Structure 1
Amino acid sequence: MEEQQRYFSRELLRWYLDNRRDLPWRRQHNAYYTWVSEIMLQQTRVSTVIPYFERFIAKFPTPTALAEAPEEDVLKAWEGLGYYSRARNLQAGAREVKEKYSGVVPDDKAAVSSLKGVGPYTTGAIMSIAFNRSEPAVDGNVMRVLSRYFRLHDDIAKPATRVHIEHIARDLIPDGHASDFNQAIMELGALVCTPKSPACLLCPVMEHCAGRLAGEETLLPIKTKAKPPKPELRYAALIEGTGVNKGKLLMRQRPESGLLARMWEMPHILVPKQMSVAGLPDAEAQDMLRGALHQEGLTVLPIERFMDAEHTFSHIHWQMRVFRCSVAEYAVVPEGYAFIGRDDREQYAFPNLFVRLLDAYFAE
C-alpha cells in the first residue's frame, strides 16, 4: 500500500506541474480568490465559471469590497450561476472576515471553517491551495479518483465514506506540496478520470490503479442515487404594461427569505397536485391564474399562451406554463412589483428560469 501511495503522489504531482490549466484563480495564492472560485465551481463547469469569476473579482476585488456591497449587486453579479444562497453566504462570510480579521482571510483552519457557508471541502481547499497547509480537500472529483485508484466499494454518498477518503487523501499529500497536490487530484478528475468515460490510457497513475486493473473503472465509485426532485406545475403571467409602461413587463420581488429570496420574477402560482399531471386546458388555466393574482391585489387579463419552460432546483422541478397578459395602467405600481424593460434589467437580479423567459420575450 505504501508503494502504491508514494507512486500516486509522485506521478500525479509530476503530471500536474506539466499539464495544469491556466485558470485565473490559480495565478496567485490569494485565499479570497480561492474561496470565491471554489464556491462558484460547486456543481458548475470551469468554462462557465471563468467569466463569472473575472467579473466578480473586478467588481468585488477584496473581502471588504464584497462585504460592503449591496446584496442586490452581489446577486446580479451571480445571476446565471444559480444556487443563490451560496452568493448570500459568501457575502455573509466576507462580512465576518471584515469584522473579525480586518478584511484578510485568516491562515487558520478553525477560523476559516467557522465562516458562513464554508464547509469541510472549502476549508480544505482554502487552507491547502492558498496557504499550502497539508489539509485534504475532498470533492466529487477526488472521491471518484481515489475510489477507483484504491478500489473502494464504499458508498460515496455516505458521510462515513467521505471521512475515510479524507484520511486517505491527507496521507497522500507530499510534504510542502499541498497546494499543487490537491489541485492535481481535482485536475485529474476533471480532465482524465471523468465520471462516465475515464481516459485510463492517458492517466499518469494508471499502472497501479486497482480499479482499472480489476476492470471496474466504470463501475466505481459506488453512489446511491439521490431522491429525484419533486415536480411542480406553475402558471406564470407575462404581464405587458400599457401607456408609459408599454414595452415593459410587470415583475415582482420574492420574499425576504426562502428559495430565491429577494430576486425578481414573473408572477406565478403553484397548480394543486391533483391538477398538475397534465395541467388544465388553457382557458381554465388562465381563469385560475387570473383569480389567484386577483387575491394578491393584481388585476390581469390573460390573453394567450406565450411559452412553456422548466427549471430544476436541487429538490424541486418547476414546469412553467407562461401566459401573455395585459394589465391596467397603474398610477402607482403595487408594493413589491416593478415594471421592467429591456434597458432596466441590469438593475435587477433574476433566477435563471426568468432570465431565459425575459430573453425570449425581448428577442421578439
Structure 2
Amino acid sequence: MRFLLSTIGSRGEAQPVTALAVRLKELGNEVEVVAPPDFEGLVTGNGLVFTPVGPNLRDAKAVKPTPDELRKLAEESVREQFRVVTKAAEQADVLVAGGALQHATRSVAESIGAHYVYASFCANTLPSPHHAPPAMLGSVPMNGTPEENLAQWERQRHYFTSSRDALNAERAKLGLAPIDDVRDHIFGDAPWLAADPVLGSWPGPGDLVQTGAWLLDDQRPLGPELEAFLDDGEPPVYVGLGSMRGVANTAADVIGAARELGKRVVLQRGWAGLELADDGGDCIAVGEVNQQALFRRTAAIVHHGGAGTTTTAAAAARPQVVLPHMYDQYYWGSQVERLNIGRSATTATADVLAEALGLTEQAAEVATQVRTDGALVAAERLMAL
C-alpha cells in the first residue's frame, strides 16, 4: 500500500507522524511524509521520503499577527498545502493528516478516491462537552460545565472559517463541491486520537480510535560530554522548551531553583536558544538529544508540556514540571497534575520543583501503564482500511 502522511505543525506533530511512517515502512509499505522544511533531517534520517511544505517554522517571527495578517497567512497556507499534497498524493491509497489545520489532505483524498484519516495528538484538540478547547493566540479557555465548554468550542470556529473561501477555491480546481463547515471537514467523520490512554484518554461523547502515542524508537547515543556529566554526580534536573520560543528567564529560574535544592541541570537549548547563566560545573547545555535515553537518567523533567515530551517523560518514570505556553500544553499540565506525577506552573520555583521531586514513586507507578506501541497499532489499523 502507499501512504502519504502530512503535517504542517512543529516537532510535536512532525515527530509522531515520522514514527508512524517508520512503522508503516517496516511493514512493507511505500510511505511519504509531507512536513515543514525544518524536519527534513528527522524524516530522511529515518530512511523516509520527505516533501517540504510551507516555510521554515523556526525562522518565523514570534509576533502575534493581526486578524488581517492571520487571514492572509491562512489563505497562503491553504494554497501551499493543496499544491504540495496534490502532487505528493498521486496513487496514494491512504492519506493521514497529523495535527491541526490540515486544510488540503481530506479534499485531495476525496479527489483521488483514497482513504482519509485525521489524527489528533491530544484529546482537548477535538470538540467535547467534557473539556474546553486548546489555547489559541494567548487565550487560555478554562474547563466549565458541558454547556460552557461547547460554547467555547463554537467561539473558536472562526479560526477555521477564515480559510473557507481559499479552501473552496482549491476544491473547485479539483472538481469538488464547496464545504461550509471547515472544522468538521478537517476532523472528518471518525478522527483518531494518537495519545496515551492513561495520560490523555478520550472523554466522549462517542467512541473513537485511540491508538496510543506515536513514539519513535530513538537509539542515538547521548555523546561523550553528556555521558561524562551524567556519570559525574547525582541525576540532574532536565529543562527544555522544545520548539517553543520560551520566556527570557526560564533557564535562569530553573537553574536557580535546582541549585537551591542541590541539584545539577541539563539544559536543552531548543528553539528558544536557552543558555546557561554561568560556567558552573553543575550545569551543562546540550542541543538536539535523545530524550528517551536522557530522561531515564534525570531526577525530574522541566518542559513546555508538548504531547511527545510529556509522554516520553512519563514513560521514563520521572516526575515533571510543565511550563505551558500555548495550544494543548495547558491540557497536558492539567493531566500531569491529575495523575500526580508532577506539577504545572508558570515558573519552576524551588518549591514547585521540590514538590515534583517528591512524586517520584507516583511517576514510577504510572510509567508501568504507559504504552509504547501506539505507532504500530495505528499502522496495522491503517493497513486494514
Q: TM-score, normalised by structure 1?
A: 0.23
Query: Radius of gyration: which is bigger?
Result: 1
Q: TM-score, normalised by structure 2?
A: 0.22
Which one has a larger percent helix, Structure 1 or Structure 2? 1
